[in-house]
Amino acid sequence: MLLDNDEVGLQSAIFFETPEEIFARVFSELKPRTPPPPVRVEFRKFANANSIIQWDEAGLRVRITDVLDGAPAQILEALAHILLSKLLRRTPPRSYAERYRRYLNRKEMRRSLELVKQARGRKFVSGPQGAVYNLEEIFEELNFRYFHGLMARPLLGWSRQRSQVMLGHYDPSHNAIILSRLLDSTGVVRLGVEYVLFHEMLHLRFPVDHRGARRCVHTPDFKQAEREFPQLKEAKELLKKICG
Ligand SMILES: [Zn+2]
């Protein structure tokens, strides 16, 4: 039994089925007399490993956590068996449930899910649009000006607290740049926000292996790149005043 399943999995890996094709095939295996309905599979930014399946006139609609986007075909196949069995009120073969559970239990998967929970759970900071400044807009400007537009945009947000101590930080585990909400104010000129964001973008550009301790490390390369910011001195003076 287990062997058979694994062979099916291997085949799907070889023929590169799309997630939609996997769900349609499993549907046919479970309900051979019913032509498979059209299938739509979406990977969504859920805060957990939940997946949802619905069957209506439009067909089958499957929503899967994006943590599983790019998972091996065997894993999506196992998930298809689990979800479709549930939908058809059957018990999924234990081997599939096992395979899926084992995959989710792998160390890196557990870590991804933990990070996603942190980032998308209630604790996360706001999005890029503040009351005054839009970080996405400023990011793209700086990206164009100083990085040839080549930097992939990380998550951008405002902290909940109006911190004076930490005006900004780059969090590599979430790939996020967070600016202190203190800066999202009409009392702060745009140059100040631009400089803090630029500084954090340089942290993204010059990554440092922190090995546990979270420190702000400015290598010579970092410092040299920072000097490309034309109003560096003015910006620093300005921020000193804000943090009084
Ligand atoms: Zn720094």
pLDDT (0 to 100) of residue 215: 59
Would you say 205 and 240 are in contact if contact means Cβ atoms under 8 Å apart?
no
pTM, two decimals, is: 0.51
Separation of CA 213 and ligand 1 centre (Å): 14
User: 193-205 burial, b if ≥16 CB within 10 A, otherwise e?
Assistant: bbbbbbbbbbbbe
What is the residue-wise DSSP string for the chain?
-HHHHHHHHHHHHHHT--HHHHHHHHHHHH-TTSPPPPEEEEEE--SSS--EEEEETTEEEEEEEGGGTT--HHHHHHHHHHHHHHHTT-PPPHHHHHHHHHHHTSHHHHHHHHHHHHHHSTT----SB-SS-BHHHHHHHHHHHHSTT-SPP-EEEE-SS--SS-SEEEETTTTEEEE-GGGSSTTS-HHHHHHHHHHHHHHHHS----TTS------HHHHHHHTTSTTHHHHHHHHHHHH-
Q: Which residues surround ligand 1, an ion (CB under 5 A)?
A: 216
CB 164 within 8 A of CB 182: yes
CA of 88 to the centre of ligand 1 (A): 55
Q: How far is the CA of 143 from the centre of ligand 1 (A)?
A: 18
Residue 119 alpha carbon to ligand 1 centre in Å? 22
User: What distance in Å separates the CA atoms of residue 125 and residue 176, rounded to the nearest whole number?
Assistant: 10
Q: Residue 160's pLDDT is what?
A: 83
Sign (positive or negative) of CA dihedral 158, 159, 160, 162: negative
3-state secondary structure string across 185-218: CCCCCHHHHHHHHHHHHHHHHCCCCCCCCCCCCC
Ligand 1 mean position, distance from CA 5 (Å): 52
Beta-carbon count within 10 A of 21 CB: 17
- Could you tell me if 238 and 192 are in contact, meaning their C-beta atoms sit under 8 angstroms apart? yes
226 Cα to the center of ligand 1, angstroms: 10
Distance of CA 174 from the midpoint of ligand 1 (Å):
17
Give the neighbor-by-neighbor strand order of the sheet with 39-44.
39-44, 59-65, 52-56
CA 45 to ligand 1 centroid distance, Å: 30
Residue 215 Cα to ligand 1 midpoint, Å, equals 8
Q: What is the pLDDT along the chain (244 residues), one digit of tens a residue?
A: 333 444 444 444 455 789 999 999 999 999 999 999 999 999 988 877 888 999 989 999 999 988 888 888 999 999 999 999 999 999 988 999 999 999 988 888 888 887 777 666 544 567 899 999 999 999 999 999 999 999 999 999 998 888 877 899 888 777 889 999 999 999 999 999 999 999 999 999 988 755 444 556 788 899 999 999 999 999 999 998 887 6
115 CA from centroid of ligand 1 (Å): 23
Give the residue among 80, 86, 180 at the shortest CA–CA distance from 135: 180
